[in-house]
Amino acid sequence: MSGLVLAQADQPAGGMDPAVRQFLLGALISGGLVSVLLLATWWKAGARQRAGTADGSPAAGANSAPPGGLTRHAVAPLAMGGAFVLCAHLLLGGLNWPPASADTWLPLAAVAAAVMGLTATAVRLPAAVRWVVRGVLVAALAYLSLRNFLGRQETLAAVGYVAGGTIWTLTTWWALEKLADRRTGALAPTVAWLLGVAVSQTVVLGLFALKGAVAAHVVAAAAGAAMLTAWLRPGFSLGFGGVHVPAVLLGLILLQATALADLSVPHLRRVVFAGLLLGVPLAAVAADRLLPARLTGWKRTGATVGLAGVPAAAALAWAGLERFAAAEESSGY
């Protein structure tokens, strides 16, 4: 066990609800750290590029060199991955080696995604190679982190969990990257933040995964820091590796919460939650492509995020209704 565990220190009698304290600390540590690092890196670049549109300027294409230099783009994956590892150490039970239970793989996933993000700033592999590498990474994380659980399932079910989690993560990754590569500004970070919040609240309300909810909340806070950076420095872009950490972590968190939820949660409900949450980045990509070109700047971002919020709201509403209905029977805890 690690020694420094902020939220796990003996607390005085009463005091703040420990779950609320973990959510607050997660937001402060992750959001604060990523904000400072991103703003420090992008401040001058944002000032230079501010002459462009307020938000939503076309970013460099997928195969172009990253605007603003390699170093600047490398900060997002490093900051997000580092913030998650720090929060896992302080809030989520510490860092464990070798990882045993499913959640202890999350910091490793953060490191792996950050390294891939860092690599993406320097090396742009052909798309086919890139997606094969990503698929192998995500499938390996899904299998290794859930191997104890998968070993107790029928072969078909085990394959279904790994394949489903991999497809969910890769699709989310593709969608966020599409948004980040197409436009500078707040769109991609805001969609990542929205997805993080939706995953966090859905897994805690619908799947009884409070630890997963805090972990997703930490990811959302990092995306929120990127959103703040984009508001202040419109030249900011999450392209070139910036979406790797949120995509990989949110996919793994949702998969683990889905697999390890209490048996009383019907499987159909789990699948629908995952489907609705996958609809968040996909709706954003669809809206970004279909909205009229005359809609620009914050209005475009607002409309896109608003449409992406529809499936998120549906998932949250269903999870919330199920939880409150159950709470009436068991008087909460």
Partner 1 sequence: MTLRSFGVVGVLALAGLTSVSLMGGWTASANLASTGQAPAASAPAATGPFTVDGVHSSVIFRIKHLNVAWNYGRFNKMSGTFLLDGKDPAKSVIDITVDASSIDTANADRDKHLRAGDFFSVQEYPTLTFKSTAFKKTGDTTFEVTGDLTMKGKTKSVTITVENTGQGPGRRGGEVAGLETRFNIKRTDFGMDYMVGGLSDEVGLIIALEGGRK
87 touches partner 1 by CB under 8 A: no
Taking the least distance from each CB to partner 1, the nearer of 154 and 262 is 262
Taking the least distance from each CB to partner 1, the nearer of 23 and 231 is 23
Return the range that interacts with partner 1 (CB under 8 A); candidates 208-216, 285-293, 303-311, 313-321.
208-216
Q: Which of 24, 53, 67, 149 binds partner 1 (CB under 8 A)?
A: 149
| Residues 87/253, Cβ–Cβ less than 8 Å | no
97 touches partner 1 by CB under 8 A: no
- Residue 210 burial by Cβ neighbours in a 10 Å radius (0-12, 13-18, 19+): middle
The footprint of partner 1 on this chain (CB under 8 A) covers a number of residues equal to 52
Under rule CB under 8 A, which residues in 26-85 are in contact with partner 1?
none
94 touches partner 1 by CB under 8 A: yes
CB of 47 to partner 1, least distance (A): 43
Distance CA 109, CA 159 (A): 20
Distance CA 215, CA 196 (A): 9
Under rule CB under 8 A, which residues in 230-249 are in contact with partner 1?
none
| Residues 291/303, Cβ–Cβ less than 8 Å | yes
Taking the least distance from each CB to partner 1, the nearer of 257 and 319 is 257
180 touches partner 1 by CB under 8 A: no
Under rule CB under 8 A, which residues in 282-301 are in contact with partner 1?
none
Tell me the sheet residues that pair with 58.
183
| Residues 66/239, Cβ–Cβ less than 8 Å | yes
Distances (CA, A) of 324 to 261, 273, 332: 17, 17, 9
Taking the least distance from each CB to partner 1, the nearer of 14 and 126 is 14
Distance CA 228, CA 237 (A): 12
| Residues 179/288, Cβ–Cβ less than 8 Å | yes
209 touches partner 1 by CB under 8 A: yes
With both helix axes pointing from N to C terminus, report the angle between 70-91 and 210-232 in degrees, rounded to the nearest 10.
150
- Cβ burial 228-258 (10 Å sphere, 16+ → b, else e): bbbbbbbbbbbbbbbbbbbbbbbbbbbbbbb
**Mask: binding to partner 1, 102-121, rule CB under 8 A, as x and -?**
xxx-----------------
CB of 11 to partner 1, least distance (A): 5
Residue numbers at the binding site for partner 1 (CB under 8 A): 1, 5, 7-15, 17-19, 21-22, 92-94, 96, 100-104, 146, 148-149, 152, 207-212, 256-257, 259-265, 323, 326-327, 329-333
